[in-house]
Amino acid sequence: MNPNGTSTTEAPLVWSRYKFPDTFIRYASWITVFVFLAYCIEYLNIPLDRLFGMFGRMGDTLANRYYPPDIEYIMDGEYMEYVVETIQMAYLGALFGLIMTVPLGWCASYNMTPSRRYVYPVARLITMGCRAVHEMIWAILFVSILGFGMLPGVLALTFFCTGFAGKLFAEEIEAVDMGPVEAMRSTGANLFQAMAFGVFPQIRVAFTGIAIYTWDVAFRAATVVGFFGAGGMGWYLKRNVLQIETERVAAILISILVLVMISEAVSAWARNKAMEMK
Amino acid sequence: MTEEVHHLPLMTSDIILERRRNSRIVQTGVCLVLVALVAWSVQVTIIDDTDWERMGSFANVLEATNRFIGIDFALFKDLIVPTIETFMIACLGTLLGVIICIPAAWFGAMNITPFKPVTYPIARMMMTLSRSIHEIVWALFFVAVVGLGALPGIFAIAVRSVGFIAKMSAEAIEDIDPGPVEAIRSVGGNNLQVLIYAILPQILPQVLGVIIFEWEINIRRSAILGLVGAGGLGLVFFRQMNTFNYHGVMTVIIAVLGLILLGEAVSHRVRRSII
């Protein structure tokens, strides 16, 4: 007998988290996603039956061709020079990108943009365009315009970093407390003053973090931007890939891995430091 | 805390000024070193290394840029299939990445990793390996192993997306509310049941958001994998570039932009409806 006094012979209530139209939509969307994925496999002619044999072959290839890595090759002085160039390329690209980001992020933040109707969409479009085009495509375009060398690499990274940092920066500006800004505006400060004294102190730490992170990401991209002729280690990689010197390729990959791990550790340390200074 | 109080009366204005001066000296020094580094790098990478002769005057550069402006309408019908392929490679790559992620996230979350000294470093290594090697390099490797076509692209994208998804999922798992886990355990649930009924429902919205975000990035990545022989729009781009059809190059870039815009719009909507 339950407290309400109704008989217990009624069908027990079935509890479910979602009611009819919701459940239907949920199941339908899951099924659509999976059917689409199955269709993708069909469309791209992926040999599912051979898939498991491939893993064995992958192991074979790794063991026979890529092992042992030719460590002596990357200990060479000339290679080290290229590593240094890669690092330089990365931070120049990140620096130029960040310099471009400051006005762009300002214009692309909805709350601080000088003109919501004209400047904001344009700035958003530029940021999005920079981000949407992959750094490799930028590199190829600049190589074809400016010729081989590190300048196209630096420019490609600049555009990449502009897109990457611009979005984060604009989001950071949009998240600030508007109180100080309004207070300043009401006492007659112009937009620039409000930006410099109302917004900038609030985003300073976040901007430092974004800058360090951008450098980290730029370095990762810089290791391969040379692949299409834009200088740095990528060119070494490409050469050895084309010559099928797989043991050297393995060594270069290991060097990239080590460098990226170092840069990641440095960037994590620097970001923690920046946070502490808050 | 007590130390702080102890020191407070000692902080005379002289000491504060002294400290401020010292920190200013350090700051100036750091800035000078940075400026010198940048100047040196500009000298090495931009001034010395560039072939200024080949580039010619500014007008020549503008002319070279100008070649790209224009659209090759004849290419449109050849772009439909590669665009679909690129999109599908991104979808399947993300799916495979998510499947590889499950053990990586399980091993990589401090609170549920089965055997900390062994499995945790393995998962961390998987994440670092996946994030530090660029997708182009992964694609090269997989092209060498499994041959040309869409499959190496899918593998490259899957392996590349493991790092980010696994890291975010592991962090989500570390942040869960331990209450439900204990509740399920106290009524006799085993590890698998804890995973399914206590952990998964808590992290699902967050992880789905991460997956969709990664899917959006993967569209961008899959558009270039063709450059090294993995199918999709990259291959068309490469061909147009090699045949010096600059308007065709621009057309391909516009197709990539359109695809990415679509992905971004979908991802934005889906993520909003999940959260």
Determine, yes or no, domain membership for B236: yes
What is the nearest CA distance from B21 to chain A, expressed in angstroms?
A: 17
What is the nearest CA distance from B114 to chain A, expressed in angstroms?
A: 25
Interface test with A, best of B85, B146, B222 (most A CBs within 10 A): B146
Task: Over range B232-251, report the average pLDDT.
Answer: 87
Q: What is the per-residue pLDDT for B46?
A: 75
Same domain? B86 vs B196:
yes
The residue of chain B nearest to residue A94, with distances taken between CA atoms, is B38
Q: How many residue pairs from chains A and B have C-beta atoms closer than 8 A?
A: 140
Determine, yes or no, domain membership for B66: no
| Minimal Cβ distance to A134: which of B128, B154, B223 | B223
Residue B105: name the closest of B162, B180, B155, B157 by CA.
B162
Q: What is the per-residue pLDDT for A11?
A: 64
Cβ contact A92–B91 (<8 Å): no
Residue B214: name the closest of B174, B254, B270, B133 by CA.
B270
Task: Over range A204-211, report the average pLDDT.
Answer: 87
What is the nearest CA distance from B258 to chain A, expressed in angstroms?
A: 10
Same domain? B46 vs B80:
no
Same domain? A165 vs A209:
yes
The residue of chain B nearest to residue A48, with distances taken between CA atoms, is B151
Cβ contact B49–A54 (<8 Å): no
Same domain? B179 vs B107:
yes
User: How many structural domains compose chain B?
Assistant: 2
| Contact predicate B225/B231, CB 8 Å | yes
The residue of chain A nearest to residue B143, with distances taken between CA atoms, is A58
Same domain? A138 vs A164:
yes
Cβ contact B51–A137 (<8 Å): no
Q: Which residues of B touch A91 (CB under 8 A)?
A: 37-38, 41
**pLDDT for B8 beyond 60:** no
The string of DSSP letters for B175-229 reads TS-HHHHHHHHHTT--HHHHIIIIIHHHHHHHHHHHHHHHHHHHHHHHTTGGGGT
Of A72-81, A257-266, B194-203, give the lowest mean pLDDT range: A72-81
Same domain? B98 vs B21:
no
Residue A219: name the closest of A269, A154, A169 by CA.
A154
Cα torsion angle, B140, B144, B150, B151, sign: negative
Alpha carbon distances (Å) from A31 to A27, B64, B112, B163, B274: 6, 50, 31, 27, 17
Same domain? B156 vs B23:
no
Distance CA A241, CA B146 (A): 16
Whole-model pTM over 0.90: no
Same domain? B8 vs B106:
no
Report the percent of chain B where pLDDT is more than 70: 94
Same domain? A138 vs A242:
yes
Name the amino acid, one letter, at A245.
E
Determine, yes or no, domain membership for B258: yes
Helix, strand, coil shares of chain B as percentages rounded to 5? 85, 0, 15
Confidence of residue B37 (pLDDT cuts 50, 70, 90): confident
The domain boundary, picked from A39, A66, A93, lies at: A66
Distance CA B148, CA A201 (A): 52
- pLDDT of A22-39, one tens digit each? 788 888 888 998 898 888
- pLDDT of B141-180, one tens digit each? 888 788 788 888 999 999 999 988 998 898 888 888 888 8
The residue of chain A nearest to residue B261, with distances taken between CA atoms, is A132
Determine, yes or no, domain membership for A11: no
Determine, yes or no, domain membership for B62: no
Show the 3-state SS of A87-154. HHHHHHHHHHHHHHHHHHHHHCCCCCCCCCCCHHHHHHHHHHHHHHCCHHHHHHHHHHHHCCCHHHHH
What is the nearest CA distance from B113 to chain A, expressed in angstroms?
A: 23
Determine, yes or no, domain membership for A7: no
Q: Which residues of A touch B64 (CB under 8 A)?
A: 144-146
Same domain? B101 vs B176:
yes
Q: What is the per-residue pLDDT for B11?
A: 64
Same domain? A80 vs A46:
no
Task: Over range A50-69, report the average pLDDT.
Answer: 78
Determine, yes or no, domain membership for B166: yes
| Contact predicate A206/A199, CB 8 Å | no
Q: Which residues of A touch B91 (CB under 8 A)?
A: 36-37, 40
Q: What is the per-residue pLDDT for A79?
A: 84
| Minimal Cβ distance to B46: which of A134, A145, A150 | A150
Same domain? A30 vs A93:
no
From the DSSP assignment, how many helices (H) and strands (E) are in chain B? 13, 0
**pLDDT for B124 beyond 90:** no
Cβ contact A146–B50 (<8 Å): yes
| Contact predicate B77/B197, CB 8 Å | no
| Minimal Cβ distance to A257: which of B129, B241, B249 | B129
**pLDDT for B6 beyond 80:** no
| Minimal Cβ distance to B49: which of A46, A58, A149 | A149
Domain CATH code at residue A165: 1.10.3720.10
**pLDDT for A166 beyond 80:** yes
Same domain? A144 vs A29:
no
| B27: containing domain | 2-50
User: How many structural domains compose chain A?
Assistant: 2
Task: Over range A86-110, report the average pLDDT.
Answer: 89
For the CA atoms of B91, B96, B101, B103, what is the dihedral angle to 10 degrees?
160
Task: Over range B106-122, report the average pLDDT.
Answer: 84
Task: Over range A151-172, report the average pLDDT.
Answer: 89
Q: And the tokens for A278? A: 């808050």
Residue A201: name the closest of A215, A184, A220, A186 by CA.
A184
| A145: containing domain | 71-276
Confidence of residue B136 (pLDDT cuts 50, 70, 90): confident
Same domain? A39 vs A92:
no
Hey, is B133 helix, strand or coil?
coil
Confidence of residue A1 (pLDDT cuts 50, 70, 90): very low
Share the mean pLDDT of chain B.
Answer: 84
Same domain? A61 vs A85:
no
Q: What is the per-residue pLDDT for B10?
A: 61
Distance CA A216, CA A168 (A): 15
What is the nearest CA distance from B271 to chain A, expressed in angstroms?
A: 14
Q: And the tokens for B221? A: 């990545």
Same domain? A176 vs A110:
yes
Same domain? A57 vs A152:
no
**pLDDT for B188 beyond 50:** yes
Q: And the tokens for A252? A: 């270069």
The residue of chain B nearest to residue A92, with distances taken between CA atoms, is B38
Distance CA A116, CA A110 (A): 7
What is the nearest CA distance from B45 to chain A, expressed in angstroms?
A: 6
The residue of chain A nearest to residue B57, with distances taken between CA atoms, is A146
**pLDDT for A121 beyond 80:** yes
**pLDDT for A2 beyond 50:** no
**pLDDT for B238 beyond 60:** yes
**pLDDT for A86 beyond 70:** yes
The residue of chain B nearest to residue A87, with distances taken between CA atoms, is B41
Hey, is B4 helix, strand or coil?
helix
Share the mean pLDDT of chain A.
Answer: 83
What is the nearest CA distance from A7 to chain B, expressed in angstroms?
A: 30
* Cα-Cα end-to-end distance for chain B: 41
| Minimal Cβ distance to A224: which of B44, B137, B221 | B137
Same domain? B249 vs B136:
yes
Cα torsion angle, B65, A145, A157, A207, sign: negative
Confidence of residue A264 (pLDDT cuts 50, 70, 90): confident
Q: What is the DSSP letter of B2?
A: H
Task: Over range A72-77, report the average pLDDT.
Answer: 78
CA A24 centroid distance within chain: 36
Alpha carbon distances (Å) from B102 to A1, B75, B204: 47, 41, 12
Please confirm whether the linkage preceding A68 is cis (ω < 30° from 0).
yes
Determine, yes or no, domain membership for B64: no
Q: Which residues of B touch A89 (CB under 8 A)?
A: 41, 45
- pLDDT of B191-235, one tens digit each? 888 888 888 888 888 888 889 889 988 998 898 888 888 878 888
Q: Which residues of B touch A35 (CB under 8 A)?
A: none
Task: Over range B106-114, report the average pLDDT.
Answer: 83
Determine, yes or no, domain membership for A100: yes
Task: Strands of chain A (E only): list them.
Answer: none
Cβ contact B46–A61 (<8 Å): no
**pLDDT for B127 beyond 60:** yes
| Contact predicate A148/B53, CB 8 Å | no
Same domain? A124 vs A195:
yes
Interface test with A, best of B40, B45, B269 (most A CBs within 10 A): B45
Task: Over range A135-146, report the average pLDDT.
Answer: 87
Same domain? A45 vs A144:
no
Cβ contact A88–B45 (<8 Å): yes
Domain CATH code at residue B77: 1.10.3720.10
Q: And the tokens for A211? A: 């800058």
